[in-house]
Amino acid sequence: MRLVLATRNVAKLAELRRILAPLVSVEVVGLADLPEFPEVPETGATFAENALIKAREAAARTGLPAVADDSGLAVDALNGMPGVLSARWAGSAAGDAANLRLVLEQVADVPDDRRGAAFVCAAALVTPDGAEQVVHGTMTGTLLRAPRGTNGFGYDPVFVPTGETRSTAELTPAEKDAISHRGQAFRGLAPLVAGVLTR
């Protein structure tokens, strides 16, 4: 059985495959593995809305059960922003490095004891018959003043999870998966995926 992850992000695809592999027997394919179709704009006001938008489109276009996630960084000192705009914080054409630089600039004057943040994820499962499920995950922590580490992607190099001294970019993939917002959400989704595949 195949499950489509509605993303062209190879790091996210590898992450979902790692997390689901011990839990569900399924071949996870990404959008790059399927005939191309236009990506639907993420117009939702919440992570859950955006995840559902992407999963619905992928299920409708492919006829396969589809998983999509929307996730981002919520910074306390920025009133929860960049939030759903995390991937486009420095502009729609900007990449991870520009987004990360902008967040660091925006909190440059914030004292260490007020640099709290959280990674938040909503993961949606949508089946071709229209059934929908959403699971959430959150990883709290603090922001560094400069990037550290080369693993992960996005804001990982400036985020230190609660209880850790290393950034998420300094953790091994297995260590990150065990505590990450996406790991929590995808593990919560795994039994729902298993239920869909055995129907």
Domains of the chain: 2-197 (3.90.950.10)
Binding-site residues: 7-12, 70-71, 153-156, 176, 181-182
Region for 154 from its dihedrals, namely left if φ exceeds 0, alpha if ψ lies in -120 to 50, beta otherwise: left
Q: Quote the CA–CA distance of 176 and 180 in Å, as a whole number.
A: 6
Q: Which amino acid would we find at residue 51?
A: A
For residue 150, the SS3 value is: coil
Tens-digit pLDDT profile for residues 136-161: 999 999 999 999 999 988 999 999 99
Contact 87, 97 (CB under 8 A): no
Binding-site residues for Mg(2+): 70
- Whether 198 has a pLDDT exceeding 90, the answer reads no
pLDDT at 199: 67
Binding-site residues for substrate: 7-12, 71, 153-156, 176, 181-182
Q: Quote the CA–CA distance of 99 and 148 in Å, as a whole number.
A: 15
What pairs with residue 71 in β-bridges? 121
Tens-digit pLDDT profile for residues 21-60: 888 888 889 988 888 877 788 889 999 999 999 999 999 9
Please identify which of the residues 69, 70, 113, 177 carries the catalytic annotation.
70
What confidence category does residue 17 fall into, taking pLDDT thresholds of 50, 70 and 90? Answer: confident
pLDDT at 125: 97
For residue 112, the SS3 value is: helix
User: CA nearest 126: which of 10, 2, 4?
Assistant: 4
User: CA nearest 139: which of 181, 89, 191?
Assistant: 181
96 labelled catalytic: no
